[in-house]
Every structure is written in structure tokens, then in C-alpha cells.
A and B are shown apart, each in its own frame.
Chain A
Amino acid sequence: MTARTLRGVSLTLMLAVGLAACGSDDSSGGAAGGSGGIAQTGGTSAGGTAAGGAATGGAGGAIDAGSDGPVDFGPYPAGPYGNAVGDTLANLAWEGYVNLDAAASSDTLPYIDYSSNDMRKSGKSYGLIHIALQG
């Protein structure tokens, strides 16, 4: 092995140890922490740098925060559809101003596509739909 190759291997190991350290710093664990653990097994160098660990640790924490993943609401309920009490509402497509927290006037919010399926995926228990006429 040449000196240049050895230097490259050493830098790689230092990075690996740094990643391992940042993984163990992050108590939320998850994918990035797991990668750090794997890297640590190969780490024989004495010197993961603090700077490297800190930088990658931050990124690992951010990724781990989302490791629970989105909730799977499954497919929209199958028909037949109807509008009587007890019927299943069809998946209806709308567009406009979606206000989920009532904190601001709806005209200050972005104009987006929305649907009854989006209502379903909100995670809320119940919703009200009113057909209105301006006036």
C-alpha cells in the first residue's frame, strides 16, 4: 500500500468513527444511527474528529425524527357511494383554500387541490361539508 492509499484509508476510518459517534449521540436512533453503528465496527483509527461527528450528527437527528414514517390510511373506501346517512361518501375533488387550524382568514392560505380523500387522510375523526351559495 502506498502512503497516499494509507492516508485515504485513514481518512475513511476517521469519517466512519465520526459517523458512529454522532449516531450514538442521537438517542432517537433510527436509520442514521444504525449506519453509524455499522461503520464503528470497522473503525480502528483512533481519531474521529469532533467536527465531523457534529456535522453529520445533526443530519442524522433530522432523518431520525421522521423515521416513524407517514401513516398509511389505506385505499379510499370502496363503493357503492351515496349521500344518505350510513352511505359512504364518494371521493370528491375540489380546489381552494384549505384551513385546518382556523388561525387565519382562509384567503391568506395557498390555493390548492383538495378532496374528500384528503379529509380522510387528515387524521381527524369527523368533518363537516356544507354546500353554500355566496351571498
Chain B
Amino acid sequence: MGGSQQKGKAAIAAGGLVVEILHSGDLLSWIKAEDLHVSVVKPKDDQTLDQLVSREWTYVIDLKTMKVVWKGFGSYDGSKPSSVEEGLTQLMTLLGK
């Protein structure tokens, strides 16, 4: 999440939820390395990746209806900004910030 850390905290402070799903790797070492203050989870089964495609995808969800209201993809090689940056901007807009 890197530089999005502050935006993630701001989105939570604004009343949103931010969930990072780790595609692969160790949750604790990632949290400590990035000093993450958002929810950090890993899938309990294959359904998450079946539904959410792959890493680098970001989804903004209307939690009243559970409908996807925005989705975006960054890049696998880091050549484009992470989609979480734009997703957090979308989330803040929906939260009226």
C-alpha cells in the first residue's frame, strides 16, 4: 500500500472501510514493513480470487447493497500507479470528502 497509507487512514477516519487482501506473503511482516493501519486479511478459500480476479485490482463497494460502484486495475510490473490510490480517491468522494 506504501504511499497510500495516509490516504487509507484518512478514508477510515472519514467513515469508510479499507481492506487489503494479501494475495500472497506474510500478513504480519507486511503490516510491520508498511506500518499499515487498515484491515489486512488473507482469503480463507479460493472464492476471493475467483471473484476478485487477481492482485492489483481495487474495488469500491456500496456496503448497503454490496454492489461494486468502482473498480480499477494498476499493473503487475509497477509501471502504473497502484489502483488503490485512485480507489481511495473514489472512496473519499463517495464519503463526501
Chain A residues near B (Cβ < 8 Å): 76-77, 81-90, 92-107, 113-114, 116, 119-120, 122, 124-135
Q: How far is the CA of A117 from the CA of B87 in the complex (A)?
A: 20
Query: Chain B residues with Cβ under 8 A from A133's Cβ?
Result: 22-25, 55-56
Cβ 8 A contact of A126, one of B29, B56, B62: B62
Instruction: Give min CB distance, B30 to chain A, whole Å.
Output: 5
List chain B residues, Cβ under 8 A from A93.
43-45, 47-48
Interface set, chain B 1-27, CB cutoff 8 A to A: 1, 8-9, 11-13, 15-27
Known: A97-B40, A105-B35, A135-B25. A124 touches B67 (CB 8 A): no
Interface residues of B (CB under 8 A from A): 1, 8-9, 11-13, 15-32, 35-45, 47-49, 51-71, 82-84, 87-88, 91, 94-95
CA gap between A90 and B9 in the complex, in Å: 26
Give the distance in Å from the alpha carbon of A18 to the alpha carbon of B32 in the complex: 55
* 27 A-B contacts (beta carbon < 8 Å): A82-B51, A83-B51, A83-B68, A85-B68, A88-B66, A96-B27, A97-B41, A98-B39, A99-B39, A106-B31, A114-B41, A119-B63, A122-B17, A125-B94, A126-B95, A127-B61, A128-B59, A128-B61, A129-B58, A129-B61, A130-B84, A131-B23, A131-B49, A131-B56, A131-B57, A132-B21, A133-B25
